[in-house]
A and B are shown apart, each in its own frame.
Chain A
């Protein structure tokens, strides 16, 4: 009996999690970056609690955005180098759902961990406690969008010279809507305003990205392997 699509997807997901577990440094580096960048801000703008709590939503979101971007490099690069990506492209299953699985595994070992860390850093930046929930929810909705959009850039820059810097140039402009609404929601929540509209919009972005990004990434991978 041959393996069905779901079984293969489970294999890929499990493998990527196992690999992340065996190379913890790869997982930890973007997290460390997230912590360091947010800790540098008080040193730059001064420790006044009022200033910090005003800046906190933006700083946390920009730092999360950059940390998530930094982790994009390992999404496909290793598999590209050792030939695993060719095997994926030659799988009898359609590439799009397989790629989606890889993106999901990548998010679980990068974006999700940023979400978990964020309340700690929010306290450091004096974000009002009642905005903490909003921060976590927006990051939970927003970081998958970052991974999904980023995967297209990661696939396009595979094996290209200057890939890392190029990747940031391709991906960061695309991140602006998520940043605007993510940080906007936290700011609104901190000043006691309603955040429903922000959540719906972030949710809509997530749905859009889920619908298009894996497909575009699969196309980009086939181009990069050609």
Chain B
């Protein structure tokens, strides 16, 4: 479904990785590993279409994502390490804005999603008062509301406590079971049941 062909990415004029090829099918999780600075974030941003690769191609259902443009973006939900949270808006407002920009119906159950990530009581607090882990949960709540098949997650487990880490693993498993795709970077070991692959960017 998502196919990466001979992908080469550079930062400045330094090559991060070259001629990377892999594919991810529905129901599969790809765990990208690598040392700091090996280009994991760049790879994820390139897979989203935010960064342009120096060479190579990314295909979704056989068509280049550059060609698909908006149609491809409609399929994916990206949680980067900036959470996309504005401190002066409340948690609920942030989530509502996030889903609205993501193209999902804003009336979708924001409250239910906040409940599921354990932020029900913080819904009306300005987001700047949330802890780092709570902000992370708020960002991840977008996954629940948006209902997109392709999840691209940059270190989603950082700052999360053990309980919510386990919840997150379950979420990933159920997304895979429903035929979703996950591409993820994480320094933690993922305990997700389902088809998982690993690739390493360290040469």
To the question of whether A and B form a pair in one complex, the answer is: yes
- B78 with A90: CB separation less than 8 A: yes
Cα A88 to Cα B98 with chains together (Å):
9
Q: Which of B48, B86, B96, B99 contacts A78 (CB 8 A)?
A: B86
Known A-B contacts A83-B82, A226-B52; A91 and B89 likewise in contact (beta carbons under 8 Å): no
Cα A38 to Cα B88 with chains together (Å):
32
- Is B100 positioned at the interface, with any CB of A under 8 Å from its CB? yes
As a 0/1 sequence over residues 102 to 122 of chain B, the CB contacts with chain A under 8 angstroms (1 = contact) are 111110000000000000000
B192 shortest CB reach to chain A, Å: 24
- Is A92 positioned at the interface, with any CB of B under 8 Å from its CB? yes
- Is B188 positioned at the interface, with any CB of A under 8 Å from its CB? no
- A90 with B93: CB separation less than 8 A: no
Chain A interface, DSSP helix/strand/loop, else mixed? helix
- Is B20 positioned at the interface, with any CB of A under 8 Å from its CB? no
Q: Which of B49, B51, B83, B101 contacts A82 (CB 8 A)?
A: B83
Q: What residues of chain B lie closer than 8 Å to A1, measured between beta carbons?
A: 105
- B104 with A2: CB separation less than 8 A: yes
Cα A93 to Cα B74 with chains together (Å):
8
9 tightest A-B CB contacts, nearest first = A83-B82, A92-B74, A11-B100, A83-B84, A92-B103, A22-B88, A87-B84, A92-B73, A91-B101
18 extra A-B contacts, CB within 8 A, seeds A79-B86, A90-B73, A92-B102 = A2-B74, A3-B100, A12-B101, A15-B89, A15-B93, A19-B89, A22-B89, A82-B87, A83-B85, A86-B78, A86-B80, A87-B98, A88-B101, A91-B103, A92-B73, A92-B74, A93-B103, A226-B51
